[in-house]
Amino acid sequence: MDRTTRKLLFAMAGGLLATAAWAEDPIKIGIPVGLSGANSVVAPSVVQSAELAVEEINAAGGVLGRKLQLEIADDASGAAGAQKAFDSLVFQKEVNAIITMETSAARNAGLPIVAKGEVPFIYTSFYEGRSCSPDLYVNGWVPEQQVPPVVDYFVKKEGAKKFFLVGSDYAFGRGMLEFARTYLEKAGAQVVGEEYLPIEGTDWTAIISKLKSSGADALITSTAGGAPNVTLTKQLRGAGIKLPYGNLAVDEGTAKSMGPDAAGIYIAASYVTSIDSPANKKFLEAMQKKFSGELRTPNDLSVPQYEGIYLYKAAVEKAGSTDASAVLSALGEVSVAGPRGTVSMNKQHHAPLTMYLGQVQEDGSVKVVETFPDVDPGTQCPNL
């Protein structure tokens, strides 16, 4: 009540004075993101795309006449850091929404804080699925959308029958591979090994030796992004593993900088830079223009972040205010045409997405091998 009164007074004062171009407080968007730790490879690109979205929206008149403003906080890619970051964003900076890409551990740590502070949360990262909360919307992919393209391709085109699964020991790693195992067994393939290493582990020796002796004819990995992914790929290549290799956690930018080690890896993503659409071209040009030399390659984590901010804008406009419950019910209805095509989070707070199966080339670019339009996220949150 207090806050509403204060805002009303402020709006009236602003109207009376009519000196400022912006009548009200800016709408604050909180971005707790892994600037340090495992996510630090990809976090800068996420921040860049958020900055572009905000700049574009503000240049076109803002949202309901209010400017958007970003509040960025480092969540250190983990639960402890996320608690601090969410706390300070929700209760000190008093953000109107949280829109971010994070590790699953960080997201889970942030959810209770978001619920307590009554702040809508748009999660823009792909993840292991089934995170359900009335405050949470997701516009990244879940295993039901990402695993089938890789498995189907390996089974049908490469004739693979025996799969070996390797992951980092955390929610995303285990969740992805659990789904992969179920899906593989349904597809009639056999899982000959499933191994995990702690997220900060660096020595994959024993796992690689097991992989070699398992007789597997395809490999699917789901590590944490960044360091573990790089370490595993380096050691796999060092050990001369040449199996068809599907990596559920590598993004295009990381693949590019890994150089020749990444060549041949299969990735499935809802965004690759080579999507041939006017919206994507416009987005890439705007990114290039804004950041030029500093530009981090836009990827499957940064583009949903860009679209997430537009989805929030659409929801606020539909709701007619930044009121949390009105925005939350609008978020499930609005849709936004972005670089990935038209995206709407209308399936139990999740989004049907077009998925691309790509293969990393020698020069680091990703060649699209097959496109799977409008893949459904399946049953994620039947109670929402």
Partner 1 sequence: MTILLDVITTAAILFVVAAGLLAIFGVLKIINFAHGAWLTVGGYCAVATTGMGLNPWLALPVAFVVGSALGGITEVLVVRPLYRRPLDAILATWGLGIVVGQLITLWFGRDVQFTPNLLSGTINVFGLDYSFYRLFMVLAALVVGLGFAVLLEGTRLGLSARAVIMNETLARALGIDTAKVRLTTFMIGTGLTALAGVLLTPLTSVDPDMGLAWLIGAFMLVMVAGSSFGALAVACLVFGGAQTLVSTFVSPVLGGITVAVLCALVLRISPKGFARA
Phi, psi values for residue 23, rounded to 5°: -70, -30
Q: Decide: helix, strand or coil at residue 135.
A: coil
State which residue, 13 or 206, has the beta carbon closest to partner 1.
206
The answer to whether 288 contacts partner 1 (rule: CB under 8 A) is: no
The answer to whether 80 contacts partner 1 (rule: CB under 8 A) is: no
If binding means CB under 8 A, how many residues of this protein chain bind partner 1? Answer: 39
The answer to whether 362 contacts partner 1 (rule: CB under 8 A) is: no
Alpha carbons 272 and 290: distance in angstroms, whole number = 20
Provide the 8-state DSSP code for 12. H
The answer to whether 348 contacts partner 1 (rule: CB under 8 A) is: no
Find out whether 225 and 37 touch, Cβ atoms under 8 Å.
Answer: no
Phi, psi values for residue 7, rounded to 5°: -65, -40
Q: Which of 15, 112, 159, 259 binds partner 1 (CB under 8 A)?
A: 259
Q: Which of 200, 333, 362, 374 binds partner 1 (CB under 8 A)?
A: 200
At closest approach, how far in Å is the CB of 74 from partner 1? 9
The answer to whether 196 contacts partner 1 (rule: CB under 8 A) is: yes
Q: Structure tokens of 250? A: 């590598």
Of 33-41, 78-86, 283-291, 367-375, the window that binds partner 1 (rule: CB under 8 A) is 33-41
CA-based end-to-end distance of the chain: 28
Strands 68-74 and 27-33: parallel
Query: For residue 108, what is the enclosing H or E element?
Result: helix 104-117
The answer to whether 203 contacts partner 1 (rule: CB under 8 A) is: yes
At closest approach, how far in Å is the CB of 205 from partner 1? 5
At closest approach, how far in Å is the CB of 86 from partner 1? 20
Q: Decide: helix, strand or coil at residue 368.
A: strand
The answer to whether 361 contacts partner 1 (rule: CB under 8 A) is: no
The answer to whether 195 contacts partner 1 (rule: CB under 8 A) is: yes
Residues in the chain: 384
Find out whether 135 and 119 touch, Cβ atoms under 8 Å.
Answer: yes
Phi, psi values for residue 184, rounded to 5°: -60, -45
Of 11-19, 34-42, 215-223, 266-274, the window that binds partner 1 (rule: CB under 8 A) is 34-42
Angle at 343 between CA 291 and CA 24, to 5 degrees: 65
At closest approach, how far in Å is the CB of 158 from partner 1? 21
Count the neighbouring beta carbons within 10 Å of the beta carbon of residue 146. 30
Please report where in the chains the tokens 């503000």 appear, as a residue.
Answer: 58
State which residue, 142 or 250, has the beta carbon closest to partner 1.
250
Of 81-89, 191-199, 269-277, 315-323, the window that binds partner 1 (rule: CB under 8 A) is 191-199
Per-residue x/- track, 41-60, partner 1 (CB under 8 A) = x-xx----------------
State which residue, 223 or 273, has the beta carbon closest to partner 1.
223
Helix axes 43-59, 302-319, angle to 10 degrees: 40
Q: How far is CA 297 from the centre of its chain?
A: 14
- Give, as ranges, the residues between 205 and 234 that touch partner 1 (CB under 8 A): 205-207, 209-210, 212-213, 226-227, 230-231, 234
Residue ranges binding partner 1 (CB under 8 A):
35-37, 40-41, 43-44, 169, 195-198, 200-207, 209-210, 212-213, 226-227, 230-231, 234-235, 237-240, 254, 257-259, 261
